[in-house]
Amino acid sequence: KPLKKIADAFEGLNASASSKTSIEVDSFSYACAQVSVLFGCLGMAFKFAEKDYTSKVEDLIVASKSISTLQSLVDLDVQHNSVRNGGSHSRNLLRVIRGLDMVRVLFEQILLSQGNSLRDPASVAYAKVFAPHHGWAIRKAVGAGLYALPSKSQLLRKLNEDEASAKVQMQKYVTSSGPVIRYVEELFLSQELGIDW
């Protein structure tokens, strides 16, 4: 039951984010790795996101062996003046947060939508989170790929869920991931690093 694993992992992170205690890199990267399964279930439309997201999460997993908290991960890149460098842990962290936010918006939209199509929920999630950072060619390719998305019932089958249990887990993820995403964004904003790059 991947959705339950995702929701449970983010509930644990939410406790740290809400109490303003440090979030550990290893528990964060573990939770993020659970989300990779979901990108894989969305088919070709999100293949680019799956590959990009998974490689960035892998980097954070490796980083967790020597860096304990997300705060110290960003601080180290600030010290080395490498925050925006391609492949830096901070840059990868920001990309992973976008992936988590896309899933959060997707789940919100699925919970609000009627019917069996994922096209509208995925389209809204992509437009809100990724499109502002993508060039015309990628936006066009994603737009075409949205027609190849599985239906909601196909997605739930792949995730081993029925509609009722999926709604519970999706709502849990939406509720718990929001504070985690804001916590990480605040790590960047508090040091005036920005998050729109």
Would you say residue 158 has pLDDT above 80? yes
Contact at 8 Å (CB) between 108 and 136?
Answer: no
Contact at 8 Å (CB) between 121 and 113?
Answer: yes
| pLDDT tens digits, one per residue of 106-140 | 999 999 998 999 999 999 999 999 888 888 988 88
**What is the radius of gyration, based on Cα positions, of the chain?**
16
Locus of tokens 């600030």: 78
Q: Is position 29 within any domain?
A: yes
Closest CA to 35 of 62, 8, 65, 68: 8
Contact at 8 Å (CB) between 102 and 158?
Answer: no
Mean pLDDT of 42-56: 83
pLDDT at 144: 83
Q: Is position 197 within any domain?
A: no
Contact at 8 Å (CB) between 96 and 32?
Answer: yes
The Cβ of residue 7 has, within 10 Å, a number of other Cβ atoms equal to 23
Q: Is position 168 within any domain?
A: yes
Report the distance separating Cα 134 and Cα 118, nearest Å.
21
Q: Is position 148 within any domain?
A: yes
For residue 102, the domain's CATH number is: 1.10.3520.10
Mean pLDDT of 154-162: 94
| pLDDT tens digits, one per residue of 54-112 | 999 999 999 999 999 999 999 999 999 999 999 999 999 999 999 999 999 999 999 99
Locus of tokens 């990309």: 95
Q: Is position 35 within any domain?
A: yes
The number of domains in the chain is 1
Q: Is position 52 within any domain?
A: yes
- The amino acid occupying position 69 is T
pLDDT at 140: 87
Q: Is position 196 within any domain?
A: no
Q: Is 21 helix (H, G, I), strand (E, B) or coil?
A: coil
- Name the packing angle between helices 25-41 and 2-18 (round to 10°): 140
Please give the residue range of the domain that contains residue 108.
2-190
pLDDT at 145: 82
- 122 burial (CB, 10 Å; 0-12 / 13-18 / 19+) is buried
Q: Is position 195 within any domain?
A: no
Q: Is 24 helix (H, G, I), strand (E, B) or coil?
A: strand
